[in-house]
Structure 1
Amino acid sequence: MRVSTYFRLGKSQHQLDFVDVELGKDLPVYVDPYAISIPEDDWFVEANNLVVSFFSLIIDNMSQGNFDKAKELLSNLGEPEGTYIGMSKDNPNGKSGRGVGDEQSDDLFEKLMNSEAVKTGSLTDLSDCELLIPGIGPDKISDITINIIRGKLVEYTYDQCILNNIPVMHVPCPPYWDSEAQDWVSRYHELPIYKGRPLIFIPKAIVRLGLMINAQSFYRHGVLEFLKRESLNANSSLVKVLKNGERVVYKKDLEEQHPFSKTFLYEFSQEHPEVLEEYKSSIDNSLKYITDSDLENRQLHPQVIDYDAIIEDLRSIPKGRDSASRYHNAVFGILELLLYPMLRTPKKEAEILEGRKRIDIRFNNGFTHGFFGELYRNYQIKAPFIFFECKNYRSELANPEFDQITGRFSKRRGQLGFITCREIEDRSYIVNHCRDIVGDGRGHVIVLEDADLVNLLNMRRDGLYPEISDYFDHKLREILI
């Protein structure tokens, strides 16, 4: 049973911002600290600051000989419960089984203390542990990261519960890192409950099938490629000449001469730090978010997107206030499906009368390319957040609906928002109204009707991702002319 099934969300993984885990069995994916460090939107920056704060304090204490303090800090890294993320045997409590808890924290301490990378000060990032320290793999790094940023994950979980109408309870939360106090803190929080235990949701955007920075990848794509170039330049004995005169060096010969080990990677990185930096830079330039299909392929019971069912559900919703909540839920499931990973970590900001009167959702916009990532470069529109209002009206949109969303705009929060409605009766009226808002300097409002959402869903079904970005660009250009 997945989270979406247990709480009767009526949504699949593709319509959710968090990993829709199967309750009772851990999903073999990892929370990647390097993936957290790259996006520039607030949630990721704050989470990354926690990781940097904690790991820097550990390294500083160890380099200064404060081993008791370092060991005390590491002892708070218990096995993360309630996430159902990681590599473990079946566990009813959602523990990752191979986490950093109890005696394993002692093992981690010993590995760090005996590491030449720590002693020399060359280890500065938690993600580098997978590269340079034997015995510390992706599962442990993922567990460490979850523990450190648990406070941000708890906030995220609560926001997702509000957004998806998931019930919560006031329960104690395991310790999480407080960068201001430079210590672990424990508090009560509002969290969803499964079998008497709190759940913590994990954003898809910080999860990977394997760590982006990993020893095998660095070895094959960084180290061996460098050694290959060096061998060719030096015309070493490893160089082979093909019949056509081409000179080659085979990786299998390099592997025999320089077998893989983390000790070798550390020594190599000391001699050639530029290769490690080049390797990390190449990862930045080819950043790949995990896809919903990737997640499904790791599930015990994978699911596929039923586009026809999504479209039929949208069309079947009656117009009017009585069906407002159902319409809101359907539209935001569609937006999640269409916009990830361009927009992330949605948050419901205001709702009254059980969703029948008003809803205001904002997404974090931390993308660097495509329509949302290029808004400022192409149109000088600042948009760290993107706002959405859903209107399940029988009548045409009017001034109050436009005033409501523009009232959320500011230079700090963003100046772009969307209103979704069932049908536009007078398109010229809507377009001209949006143009007037631009002309008044109040921001930019794009109106999408059901037909637009259906068009976008069909593009997504056909894998026309650039066309989805172009579709939004066309809508914006229409109100700028």
Structure 2
Amino acid sequence: MEGEANVRVSEFYNLNKSQSELDFVDVDIVNDVELYIDPSAIAHLSSPWADSCIASIQSFFQRVLDAIGDSNDEGAISLLAELREPNETHLGQSSGRSQGSGLGDKLAEKFWESLSNSRAARSGLLEDLEDTALLVEGVDKDRISDITTNLIRAQLVEFTQETAEYHGIELTPDVAYGPFWDPLKGEWYQKYTNLPTPNGERLLLVPKAIARRGLHLSASEFYRHTVLNYLVIQERAERSLGAVIRSRRGVTKTSVNEVLKEQFDAGRHNPGVEKRINTWATQQNPELLRGYKEEKAATGNPPLPNEDLAERVGSDTSRLRDLLEDVLRTPAGRDDADAYERRIESFLSALFYPHLVFPRRQKKIHDGRKRIDISYTNAATHGFFYWLAMHYPAAHIVVECKNYGKELRNPEFDQLQGRFSPSRGKVGLLLHRGYGDKEKVWSSCRDTARDDRGFIIALDDDDLRLLVQESEAPTSAESFGYLHKLFQKLID
């Protein structure tokens, strides 16, 4: 019911963590948070999980487009009809208790009607799900987010289960759930699975790295900055709209916009008129859409900052100094190794987000024979980690935590470099407590780099203090110049 008190996931399960320490959106377990899943945000992540999501989205949408192209109305409606209101993510814009705006029942038919009546769909202009937000009337961020949630439901269940295991969130066994999309078979299926069920309702956690305030691709932006510019050039060359526009005050974006709105809307002030014009112009020149998408892909789609997420969900923002103190007061030794690793993960996740996202803990590699303490996906669009990805294999950053009360020795360095691979990346952080000769530690790191076995940046307690000091200096915020300086020690 509207007006129910907000209780976030972290509060309900007593996680004692703020949004900046969590890699999922810390939603209210009853009401919606006005955030959305953007497919292009997933596409910008480099990880097997993200690749699996994109495969599901592309597989489904291509089948729908094929049905439209074959005039197979029944087949397309059958595919769309399995989409459901994804209330369990608690994302969207419902007022009060999550109700969703998904595509089940009559809404599926409405979405089918929008697609089937769309010139963009019939003419083959649509290639990706997010194209519909540019060219198809009645489709916007909420609808795209709902569809995407349905198509990656299996991947979100996997993420939810891993996250629940790490944080000790209770799972209800054998919950009837679905439908799930099988991209290989091209069909929907149901299954029983384990999920959190606060207040008896299913909960599906969403990685904060893929949550956005809106879509990266914007119909209005495409219209005003790509389509209008193109049509102005065309009209000035006397090849497009005709003499009516030249009889006005010159050929400008304003005059072209006025004439287009008159021709395509006839004074009805329909909010979908820009999409109709987008489709018309793109039919004349398909490169408009391709160029716009390529330009947007090049600019990146960075995750929302922790401060923005915290404001949206009503959470506090963690202070790095408090998280650092948690790390520093952890006793060195095997007995507190797990506590040290968890506190390091909270600290690094808050410090490096949104440059490093999607932390995976105790990740199995080599058929389970080895484990990586923590690995991050490198999503940086500027600063040190971006530079790193441009020059070295650094799609992922591997982290090993050594809570030793003694000096590090060769096996610890060998263990970390053994986690490297061309696909995972060859850059890692070795977190340790600082016992022994620091220069000897760096000599071992340089030896690893010179032998082309990867790049290890060793960080002890003092280094973490310096990273926090740097983060508080506005001139160097988020550039991580100190890390860059340490990396130079490996390659000089």
TM-score range with shorter-chain normalisation?
Answer: 0.7 to 0.9
Alignment partner of 1:364: what SS? strand
Alignment partner of 2:458: what SS? strand
CA distance in 1, matches of 2:394, 2:188: 34
- State the one-letter code of the partner of 1:269: T
Task: Decide whether aligned partners of structure 1 residues 118 and 291 sit closer, same or farther in structure 2, where only a CA change above 3 A counts.
Answer: same
Match of 1:202 in 2: 206
- State the one-letter code of the partner of 2:180: Y
CA distance in 1, matches of 2:329, 2:67: 61
Deviation, 1:90, is 1.7
CA distance in 2, matches of 1:115, 1:143: 20
Match of 1:150 in 2: 153
Deviation, 1:441, is 4.1
Match of 1:336 in 2: 349
1:347 aligns with 2:360: yes
Match of 1:236 in 2: 246
Aligned equivalent of 2:444, options 433, 440, 451: 433
Match of 2:466 in 1: 455
Alignment partner of 1:174: what SS? strand
Task: Decide whether aligned partners of structure 1 residues 13 and 458 sit closer, same or farther in structure 2, where only a CA change above 3 A counts.
Answer: farther
* Cα-to-partner distance string for 1:257-302 (whole Å, 9 max, x where unaligned): 2224322221122123232223222212322422222223333x35
Task: Decide whether aligned partners of structure 1 residues 29 and 68 sit closer, same or farther in structure 2, where only a CA change above 3 A counts.
Answer: same
* Cα-to-partner distance string for 1:432-468 (whole Å, 9 max, x where unaligned): 1222333444332221112222322333344556664
Match of 2:368 in 1: none
Higher mean displacement: 8-17 or 179-188: 8-17
Deviation, 1:229, is 4.4
* Cα-to-partner distance string for 1:347-401 (whole Å, 9 max, x where unaligned): 22369xxxxxx971222335565433444653xx433432212222222222333
Match of 1:159 in 2: 162
Match of 1:137 in 2: 140
Structure 1 unpaired stretches of 5+: 241-247, 352-357
- State the one-letter code of the partner of 2:464: L
Aligned equivalent of 1:292, options 306, 320, 323: 306
Match of 2:485 in 1: 474
Match of 1:177 in 2: 181
Task: Decide whether aligned partners of structure 1 residues 198 and 396 sit closer, same or farther in structure 2, where only a CA change above 3 A counts.
Answer: farther
Q: How many residues are matched?
A: 461
Alignment partner of 2:178: what SS? coil
Task: Decide whether aligned partners of structure 1 residues 307 and 213 sit closer, same or farther in structure 2, where only a CA change above 3 A counts.
Answer: same
Alignment partner of 1:329: what SS? helix
CA distance in 1, matches of 2:292, 2:455: 40
CA distance in 2, matches of 1:208, 1:233: 40
Deviation, 1:26, is 0.8
Match of 1:187 in 2: 191
CA distance in 2, matches of 1:399, 1:8: 40
CA distance in 2, matches of 1:117, 1:366: 32
1:215 aligns with 2:215: no
> 1:83·1:201 contact (CA, 8 Å) conserved in 2?
yes
Alignment partner of 1:9: what SS? coil
Task: Decide whether aligned partners of structure 1 residues 144 and 454 sit closer, same or farther in structure 2, where only a CA change above 3 A counts.
Answer: same
Match of 1:416 in 2: 427
Match of 1:81 in 2: 87
1:386 aligns with 2:400: no
Alignment partner of 1:442: what SS? coil
CA distance in 2, matches of 1:298, 1:283: 25
CA distance in 2, matches of 1:337, 1:402: 26
Structure 2 unpaired stretches of 5+: 1-6, 239-244, 262-272, 365-370
> 1:232·1:249 contact (CA, 8 Å) conserved in 2?
no
> 2:356·2:378 contact (CA, 8 Å) conserved in 1?
yes
CA distance in 2, matches of 1:105, 1:79: 11
> 2:172·2:195 contact (CA, 8 Å) conserved in 1?
yes
Alignment partner of 2:359: what SS? strand
Deviation, 1:83, is 0.6
Structure 2 matches for 1:263-342, cutoff 5 A? 263-289=276-302, 290-299=304-313, 301-342=314-355
CA distance in 1, matches of 2:9, 2:42: 23
> 2:229·2:253 contact (CA, 8 Å) conserved in 1?
no
Task: Decide whether aligned partners of structure 1 residues 394 and 277 sit closer, same or farther in structure 2, where only a CA change above 3 A counts.
Answer: same
Task: Decide whether aligned partners of structure 1 residues 9 and 400 sit closer, same or farther in structure 2, where only a CA change above 3 A counts.
Answer: farther
1:3 aligns with 2:9: yes
CA distance in 2, matches of 1:254, 1:302: 46
> 1:169·1:191 contact (CA, 8 Å) conserved in 2?
yes
Match of 2:54 in 1: 48
CA distance in 1, matches of 2:395, 2:235: 48
Higher mean displacement: 451-460 or 207-216: 451-460
Task: Decide whether aligned partners of structure 1 residues 384 and 395 sit closer, same or farther in structure 2, where only a CA change above 3 A counts.
Answer: same
Alignment partner of 1:261: what SS? helix
CA distance in 2, matches of 1:277, 1:427: 52
Deviation, 1:52, is 0.8
- State the one-letter code of the partner of 1:295: L
Task: Decide whether aligned partners of structure 1 residues 140 and 377 sit closer, same or farther in structure 2, where only a CA change above 3 A counts.
Answer: closer
Structure 2 matches for 1:118-133, cutoff 5 A? 118-133=121-136
Match of 1:245 in 2: none
CA distance in 1, matches of 2:40, 2:389: 26
Deviation, 1:402, is 2.4
CA distance in 2, matches of 1:297, 1:228: 41
CA distance in 2, matches of 1:385, 1:262: 38
Task: Decide whether aligned partners of structure 1 residues 376 and 39 sit closer, same or farther in structure 2, where only a CA change above 3 A counts.
Answer: closer
Aligned equivalent of 1:30, options 29, 36, 40: 36
Higher mean displacement: 145-154 or 390-399: 390-399
1:108 aligns with 2:111: yes
- State the one-letter code of the partner of 2:158: E
> What is the Cα-based RMSD across aligned positions, in Å?
2.6
Match of 1:355 in 2: none
